[in-house]
Structure 1
């Protein structure tokens, strides 16, 4: 090696040279040193500035209430498209007709179906009224049978009383005849004894004999009469049982007819109710041929087209966007940030297509962002692996732009705890999550 550097090495004190003194005394070095010192002090001060932790998310513009979101109108019945009354982009009021469909099912093809069903209903109602009248007539007949039976029983009971009295009278006559026999026998025996003694003539004895024979003949007649009266009494008692059995049979037959009429009446009422149901269903179905707007809004898109196209039940026909709605933003956050979000917390929102300058740690210095409030936090994970959060406009800040449309993109920053900048840098470098905290209002409510 030439070892040139060793021979050309500057030796001695170089500060004695004027050139070096000139270079070292240049003013811009001093300025540079001051700048470096100032920047260092500024950086140190920045490290102690407050920094707002946040949880970012991305989503889209939606509506606050479910009934204000775009909806699809379906056909409740199967049919064939006959006429369109609107076109895409038209504004429709609630109840306006969108299209008309005709019937395709063979059970409902009769144009007079509703009228015929109404006639059947009226006929059944009249049949029901006739059964009601028949039941009333049978009820009156049963009452008449009961009254007639009561009279017949009274008549039979009177006959029993008469028969008993007749039996009593005949028995008394029989006793009298028997007494007469005893008297006639005594008189005959006395006359016979006196005739033997010669005190009575034979003619008187013959008279007494004849009288005795007459009384003996009379007792047989009286016994037959008593037996006949007793038989009449038995027949009168039998007549009561016959009357009771006869009128019970008549009453049971009338009640059987009455129950049959009641059964027919109830069956007719069931058929009337069924026909009423069918009649109402047919009327409602006729109204379903005209598909109407459920609320006021704009026709976004016709999902079916043409004339004569056949659609099934539940087929989407047209999409409508409600005219009046409360705007909101639905954003999605990671599962690690979910415990940090609570209802009522403040959120910063900015929309796609709007000029925005965002300082995530200093939201007050951001430009083009709007205030929001969390109104709902979903408790179940969505299909994209994140949790859905619904944000409404903050009433205490500037209103959101009216020009934004449903479905446009949006970015969000949920404002969390406020920490120094150096702590946030240290947390980020170590991969720690934001500070877990509870809002003051929530802690107060928990204490209560």
Structure 2
């Protein structure tokens, strides 16, 4: 709205409140620096923020007041733009996460689904035939790095994330050793070893499941564990990269619904194709947009292949900033709303102010926001964002200083026009 009113660009220091899953690098209340611009390209925003990050590192290092501190930012690796760029597809293929920690860059995952489709081990073959995913992690030199009990604990952790198991195989001069090696003929063993690039003395961890998300979650966590065991995650090193070319939509199979991967205001890379799909959806005949598009000849793979103009900056596996180029045309915005199941009536009710403003003519615009607390945590080499926030919330979201959330006096609620509704019992 600021850009539509004629404000060319601005930045703000914003207090944010988000109801998210609790992690060491998250707080329900935090501080952001938000930058918004008119007429930028994706590269314009990314290059501007690279200068911001570079100047933060440079400024702290050159400030005499900090010279006696032992912070990683003072003694760590150099940080200078331009930063590496990696597609979402590559990040998921090699690291099973869209915010990879590139301090362990060479510890990559291998997709074995193609190999599994023709292998003799039915558990892997069955997953491949059902369009599932089979991924392997080569753990260099760790064939004897774990006891039997420790390997069972790894499998237990994998099952806790939804996997049916976690295979482990030792690579020897003769081939593979381990629980499932006896089900894999010698020629198939050699093909697997060659595909993963393994050597004698290595350990292979393999996860297979029909749901890709489960495999990605398991293998990302295994990769982090192995990286720590190999001593690859040194806090004095800063591995920075941009993740780009994110999917425009995510698909939930159980109710056949699409969701915007970033938010529904992000500009698609292929606006024309989104327009075509939206027109097919508007013809009706089925209860959901996805069903209508499938009936109109659009394949789900084509929908999920659409990409957006989102970009995330990742340092040491932590998302430090994120942003996007956004839609500035009413018809483009209406098309995306249509595909995520927000019809014209609902769009006018929820976002009428935005649609009306776009109708008056809006410049192409975009921006980026960075979590100040999270960046500070990283620069100081700390493990928890609570350590850089005065009066942080607890892991359960409570403010321990003033003991909130808590009961509020009825008189105060009446004054504010607020009514408390008891939480229904399960």
TM-score by length of structure 2 reads 0.16
- Tell me which protein shows more helix as a share of its residues: 1
TM-score by length of structure 1 reads 0.15
Higher relative contact order, chain-length normalized (CA < 8 Å, sep 6+): 1
- Larger gyration radius, structure 1 or structure 2: 1
